[in-house]
Amino acid sequence: MKVAIILTSHDKLGDTGKPTGFWLEELVAPYYIFHDAGIELTLASPKGGQPPLDPKSNDASAQTRDTERFATDRAGQQALAHTVKLDTLNANAFDALFYAGGHGPLWDLAEDPHSIALIEHSFAAGKPVGAVCHAPGVLRHVKKPDGTPLVADKRVTGFSNSEEDAVQLTHIVPFLVEDELKRLGGHYEKVDDWQAFSIVDGHLVTGQNPGSSAVTAQNILKLLNF
């Protein structure tokens, strides 16, 4: 069983001059859920190599058992330092896709033609596609085989407008995940800010925020019959 974990290569928070990237917990919690289930993992990003880490996600206040485990995991650190280029991935080689969030994906993965094609091919083949926090934003240009938006008429979640307000980036991000999912015809749902929440609709799995990373990955495992 093989799963591709897709990370952003974008490291600038709009024109603020501040750094961004992927959110650490949104990588490592799913990484260990998949890894410990015996799944073979491939980490990928648009540019390949070491993807940018949002430094706030590595603050002392953001540490978890998984982030502490990853800090001393030589194999995991090597995989992260040498992500493969996204455009080299073949959807046929993987049983599921998982997109980690952080603000970075709103700028690069949401517009990346290789990412869009990868998701479309995997979804059409009935394979689980998962995304957490800001990563459901990568679905904005993805279509179903009939040409309609992938999220149209599907129950979905993702980083909420109120959570974006809480981190004071509403006017910095290129689009708001909640608004975009609704615009595309998705049936957006959320719970209270920062509470774990994941939705499964068919083989599309979405999670609301960083704390939803583990349950989102666990829902993908269930779809893979683990």
| Tens of pLDDT, residues 6-29 | 999 999 999 999 999 999 999 999
Spatial distance between the Cα atoms of 119 and 204, rounded to a whole number of angstroms:
10
- C-beta neighbour count of 4 within 10 angstroms: 23
Place of tokens 């969030």: 101
Q: Which of 5, 21, 44, 197 is nearest to 106 (CA)?
A: 21
Q: What is the mean pLDDT of the chain?
A: 97
Mean pLDDT of 188-208: 98
Indicate the pLDDT class of residue 87, thresholds 50, 70 and 90.
very high
Check residue 164 and give its pLDDT: 98
What are the tokens at 170? Answer: 């509403």
| Tens of pLDDT, residues 130-171 | 999 999 999 999 999 999 999 999 999 999 999 999 999 999
Check residue 97 and give its pLDDT: 98
| Tens of pLDDT, residues 160-179 | 999 999 999 999 999 999 99
Mean pLDDT of 72-93: 97
Check residue 226 and give its pLDDT: 86
Could you give the percent of the chain with pLDDT greater than 90? Answer: 99
Check residue 189 and give its pLDDT: 98
DSSP summary character for residue 128: -
Domain boundaries defined on the chain: 2-223
Q: What is the assigned CATH class of domain 2-223?
A: alpha beta
Q: Is 124's pLDDT higher than 90? A: yes
Could you give the percent of the chain with pLDDT greater than 70? Answer: 100
What count of Cα atoms within 13 Å lies in the side-chain half-sphere of residue 81?
8
